[in-house]
Structure 1
Amino acid sequence: MKRVVERGNKSSLLKEYGLHNLVELLGRCPSNSICLSPGRALDEMPPALAEKRRWSFEAFCFKHLPTFGGLAPNCIHTTSVGKDSDYGYLDLDPVTQAFLAIPFTALLYLIIINNNFSGSPIQKFKEFLRRVSCDLDLLSAKEIEIAKYCFAESRAEAVETSQISKRLRENFLKTKKKKAVHTYSEALTVAFNGACDLTLINFVNVMQTEGLDSVQQDCWVATRDEKLFEFSKILHYLDLDGEAGKFAAATILPEHSNDEYWQQATHEQQSLGLSRMPHHLVREIDVFSYPEIAKAAISEVARVFYET
């Protein structure tokens, strides 16, 4: 939307930027039956940049989606001020840090193991399970499935698995320029961007469960982000007992059936999950304890990259 607005906000640009189908679909929706919520996307950005992008969003809607422009009557608008670059996890307020801490920390572990742990693919995956289980005291299906693909060896006969693994490595283990992570700042940036994307899935699940102003919602994510698109192929969430996303379901590709790595990785994950079940059922999770764990992981990243 930003690029369309910057180039004159012309309707002829919609197809070039892949927005024509979305605009056409939303244009056919009855008034007040659907709303656009860019808030989570803006939260990833430095505040000053987010303020600019918000105005781009409003300008785009005013021209191409006039029934979606303007502020919703029940929203709270605040002007974003602050940095316009070099923005990351440590710049967030305490509540947002707590909200992002689990995926951010898990993705830091992923980068640390990938860069600093010597071992076979299954040994690396088992080390990742150990870190999230012992240090985070939590098994998150999203990050575990990503690690499973990132540490898998590419095999010529496993075409689909190799393609997914390559795309996930590019997005969770490499910079935006598709280069390997070599510095402390690159590690934090890659983990922060990935955590924001994964948190979007959590946000949608919460909104679909809790509703908005006591009104049930049917939430969808519209994105051109390759991480989220590839992730949706390998893991999705199931509603149960009135809760959206209460259980996760992973996709098992036919290529995995005779692959020793995939069989062992799945076994390790399931065994650990079962062994932790009694602990999980009686524990109380304090989300505000996780930022300290995240900061410990940040310190570990500093040691890893400053020593190499």
Structure 2
Amino acid sequence: MPRVIWKGAISFGLVHIPVALYPASREDEIDFDWLDARSMDPVGYKRVNKRTGREIAKEHIVKGVKLDDGEYVLVSDDDIREAYPRSTQTIEIERFVAAAEIPFVHLERPYYLAPINKGEKVYALLREALLAAGRVGVAKVVIQSKQHLAALIPAGPALMLNTLRWAGEIRPWDELSLPPAGRQAAGLKDAELKMAAQLVEELSAPWQAGDYSDQFKDAVMALVERKSQAGDTREVTPLEPAPEQPGSSNVVDLTALLKRSLAGGASGKAAPAKRPARPAAKAASKAAAKRGAPARKAARRRA
């Protein structure tokens, strides 16, 4: 089972459907690691102060919005919650529209919705009603502290929530050099349209997602396999050994994360005032000097 991202309810009119939100897509790209070509050491990502070049702890990072005059307004998570205190656990359907009316360019990320808390019957009722009407719900929802516009879409046995890009996120085509819309305005002849329609018809087929694959990824992974079989590999020593965990699990080790966070935070906090410990070599040198002090004093007296 995929992890639950969010729990809440679909709401429209007096209808209230308790649901859980699950991811419906996954990243399936080639996982390239960055390596130093000179030493084969892993190259990691760090939070770095751009002025000093020094790494900084997470707790010292704040959110800032840059103004036109170059100054910043600092905004905390509490400020954001107070500025928009509305419930974040509701998918608020504002209207129902024909699915074909939403342009593909607005579609962003799909999620599955599953009924919880005995909401199966009303969940199925909304799904079947949308299928019969050929419509989808347009809703607003807050996911992970960000408000999204979304479409509630029936798909087989599921209701899906597909986040949509806001109108302001879509670039206009005004600055592009495009042929005018319409066959006459574009100067198209009937014979040309007929041949184009014939070609479209010949290449038409029902949509089957399994008919398509990422050929670039397949080719690169085949290359990796050939290099591996030929012994063309390099050894990379991890900077830190991975912690041993019993069995395989997708659950984040919270204890390890807290320990790393505390270790990172300690470097950025002011240490309590105390006398710093002397390096071993320096301390040994001073001890030797003390042992030799009486001999030097006697030598001076003889002189």
- TM-score, structure 1 as length reference: 0.22
* Larger of the two Rg values belongs to structure: 2
Using structure 2 for the length normalisation, give the TM-score.
Answer: 0.22
User: Relative to total residues, which structure has the larger helix share, 1 or 2?
Assistant: 1
